[in-house]
Chain A
Amino acid sequence: MNRRDFLRTSFAGGSMVSLGLTVPTFLTRTAWAAPTADRAGSKDTILVVVQLTGGNDGLNTVVPFRDENYAKLRPTLRIPTNRLHKVNDELGLHPSMQGLADLLQDQALCIVQGVGYPNPNQSHFRSMDIWHAASLDRELTEGWIGKALRQTPQTLAFHLADNNESSPLALAGAPRSVPSVTSLQDFQLRTNALSSAERAERTKIIEKAAQTSAGSKPSLLDFVKRTAVNTYESSKRLQEVAGNYQPKVPYPNTPLANRLRVAAQLIEAGMGARIFYVSIGGFDTHANQLNTHANLLAQLSGAMTAFYKDLAARGHKDRILMMTFSEFGRRPYENGSKGTDHGAAAPMLLVGGKVKAGVVGEHPSLVKNVIRGNMRHNIDFRQVYATILDNWLGIPSKDVLGQPFNHVDIF
């Protein structure tokens, strides 16, 4: 057996699998088959994670207008009560969030109050890693969604990325790397070939290069090859669905809405995509936060509402769950620059046809029991993850989170 024969046979056998040099899930038959078992997560439920990067000011997102401490601690940043969208006798949504307020009326918005974790960290990056990995361990290398995908390797996931955005830790550890897509138009390998024969020949060389044998040790080169094999295969499939998509409702022209629109297109394409990850940045409002924050919440609310209504109009209302989170909230008292510094507990927003509409959990006190001035959490974010994993995606949460967490009443 010469060297090339050896390589050929080893690719047909185990080494290809061990390197993960296999075609993406959705190209295999099983990914297309609809689940039949009648249990949670078996009915093609979809999860869209919306990351608010920078530390969203939860207190001005869901405002406890009855609490006298709110006005006291926020002399310049408080939102006047009469401008809020009332949720109940104590809480109101920020005036920018008309869309989400409407969804609350439609029984499609759930607000989980006071979410956080023990010994909250005030570093953006460490705290974000904790939320991504759903762990407080020192070294964090895998994400909660990546681990969840290991339990359900047939599930197809997408990261809808901004230009300057890398793949999140939350998706690390997946059995196959989750593709990041910015634009379906640009998600293809081009050649400036003169003929289809030439194009085929050149594409073949490029694809072959990604499949050549790698060394015995895992290396950066393996990583590049795995990424390349996944990408070339994904791009072929995505080009088939990349046609013109006509939303049922207008989407605002914002980067977040554009990314959610791609998610809607991928869902509508019926390729079995169930998990989507999107981010919106700019929430680190240390200074002059009033207008900045209002704009961000308007973008968030506009994009989430359009996406939900679009999919609801296509009959997917009960398949959709969107979940927002941020690495931390902000401190109850404002700083001297008309902004707020890094805090701790904050609300999460859930949107979907099956959520329990209204408020879940207690609003944490702004002054009592605070940790160095930061609000204390009542609900661990891993309880929310666990509930979604078990009751929405049908993935045993203990296998992902490493320990059981009490569920939260969100469905």
Chain B
Amino acid sequence: MPNGIDPRWAWAEYKPSAKSPWDRKKVGHLYRRAAFGATWDELETALKAGPQQTIDRLLKGGDGLDDFERRTDLLKKKIADANNAQQARAWWLYRMLYTPHPLREKMTLFWHNHFATSNAKVNNIGYMLGQYDLMYQHALGNFADHLQAMSKDPAMLIWLDTNISPRNKPNENYARELMELFSLGIGNYTEEDIREAARAFTGWRIRDGKGVFVPEEHDPGVKTVLGRTGKFKGEDIVRICLEQKSAPYFIAGKLYRFLISETEPADETLLEPLAEDFRRSNYDFGKLVARVLRSNLFFDPRSYRARVKAPVDFALGIVRGLEGHVPAKEKKGRLLGTPALATALQAMGQDLFHPPSVKGWDGGTAWLNGQTLLYRQNLALAMTSTTDPRFGSRLDPAFVAYHHGVERDEELVDFFLDLFLEGEVPPETRQNLLDYMQKSKKQPVPVFWTSRDAHQHRVRALCHLVLTQPEFQLD
């Protein structure tokens, strides 16, 4: 289906203009796609800084990354030793929330969905975290290196059976998914290519927790794969895949869906400048991400709310908006722990380190069905209420509003609408919320409550109502 978008315009750098100004809508959009949502202060700062500086900062990450990585690495070793899947989920969410470099975490999540490996089969959290390290390392790095390394990654060797594929009767699992899901896409290879490539991938075993090549387990014969013939090994197959015309298009198309739009896949014409540049750069993925984030099409109205929020984005967007991640020393003990969050995400369908299949999460409209919508709305309630034991008083919309000096009803409605929805809602939505604030003043409250208690209850209810707006489901 042709997108009917001029590719040269689409991928040229966005420059603010009278027609397309740098505004709250664009900042909120950028922070949702390239991070996990923004706080009020981040929105205000970015509005003043302009697109170039804001995107530079997102690409580079903030200060203190080394220190942050050191601290979380210590924790990671303990989790691996304990082989604790629940702690691993919470650990990654912690990193997403607290990292000075959210874009890198976000792209690691992109790769987790791309190389979708599940601990349900690997059954070794150390290996899963090792794979996480690999993806984090290459999150904004070189895709060719990434794909080569992934083919030898212990979690992947187990997940797709490379480690038990014998030379005389090869297992086709990895060869198939390498072509179908990791590099080329369906239709760009034959069943014969898979069978031959499977022979080339024989010989890999796990020794001392590492993928090693064992020559005597390898089928050294001549193979013919994708029109090339030789005594290929696994590395050769990866290289041959990356030489195919379809490879850069396949990856660029997936990134398009992740950063631009889920509503309509990009056609070849639209992807061409990205894909060809990606190929010429020898698969520099960071450069590709930067180009997409700076582009006209990224900031075009067509891309705004053109994705359904993944559960991670839904939940973390609330936590960040309500400043549940802001360090304790600045905001008195309101740090949010993540194990309960990890459990909530499982119910909403995004169980980290446990994607449903090797294809990853389908995303888009598949995220939302009756049950998951209700889980989302009820999680929003739990996060805006100070009585839910899971999140306790660590998230409190009333506190956040007060902190930013917002007290009057109309200001409160606009504050939460701006914070979470850039104020982009139909006028009747705003009116309904104003009406609610008016009516709720007359609602009975417990006799021992002060007027301040009653006010804060109304503020929390208001914030929940904002988060249950259909627009908030969109990314």
Contacts and interface: CB of A to CB of B under 8 A. Distances in A.
- The answer to whether A and B assemble together is yes
A231 B374 contact: yes
A35 B169 CA distance: 57
A205 B171 contact: no
A227 interface: yes
B381 A191 contact: yes
Contacts of A7: 428
A234 B444 contact: no
A155 interface: no
Interface string A290-319: 000000000000000000000000000000
Interface in B443-475: 443-446, 457, 461, 464-465, 468-471, 473-474
Interface string A74-96: 00000000000000000000000
Contacts of B173: 286-287, 341
Contact of A223 (B354, B365, B428): B365
Nearest to B457: A194
A161 B444 contact: no
Interface string B249-277: 00000000000001100000000000000
Contact of B381 (A192, A281, A372): A192
A28 interface: no
A36 to B, nearest CB: 31
Interface stretch (A143-151, A331-339, A402-410): A331-339
Contacts of A189: 374, 377-378
A136 B167 CA distance: 35
Interface stretch (A63-71, A206-214, A352-360, A384-392): A206-214
Contact of A180 (B172, B180, B370): B370
23 contacts: A7-B428, A53-B357, A123-B180, A124-B357, A163-B346, A164-B349, A179-B370, A180-B370, A194-B445, A194-B446, A209-B465, A220-B306, A221-B474, A224-B368, A224-B470, A224-B474, A286-B160, A286-B172, A287-B161, A334-B169, A336-B166, A336-B168, A337-B169
Contacts of A191: 381, 461, 464
Contact of B444 (A4, A180, A194): A194
Contacts, number: 195
Interface in A182-214: 182-183, 186-195, 197-198, 201-202, 205-206, 208-210, 212-213
Contact of B432 (A209, A227, A336): A209
Contacts of B354: 164
A202 B355 CA distance: 35
In the A-B complex, the 6 residue pairs with the closest CB atoms: A336-B169, A336-B166, A166-B366, A180-B369, A179-B370, A231-B370
A159 interface: yes
A194 B436 contact: no
Interface in B178-221: 180, 186, 191-192, 194
Given A202-B461, A221-B305, A4 B371 contact: no
A193 B461 CA distance: 8
Given A124-B357, A336-B165, A337-B166, A161 B428 contact: no
B2 interface: no
A339 B445 contact: no
Given A202-B464, A231-B369, A336-B170, 6 more contacts: A163-B347, A179-B371, A205-B436, A221-B470, A235-B370, A341-B172
A43 interface: no
B374 A336 contact: no
A130 B431 CA distance: 47
Contacts of A213: 426
Given A164-B346, A177-B369, A198-B440, A209 B469 contact: yes
Contacts of B170: 335-336
Contacts of A323: none
Given A122-B176, A205-B436, A221-B305, A180 B371 contact: yes
Contacts of B168: 336
A265 B14 CA distance: 56
A210 B372 CA distance: 16
A213 B470 CA distance: 12
Nearest to B350: A164
A123 B187 CA distance: 10
B108 to A, nearest CB: 20
Contacts of A193: 461
Nearest to B358: A124
Contacts of A210: 470
Given A164-B354, A206-B465, A195 B371 contact: no
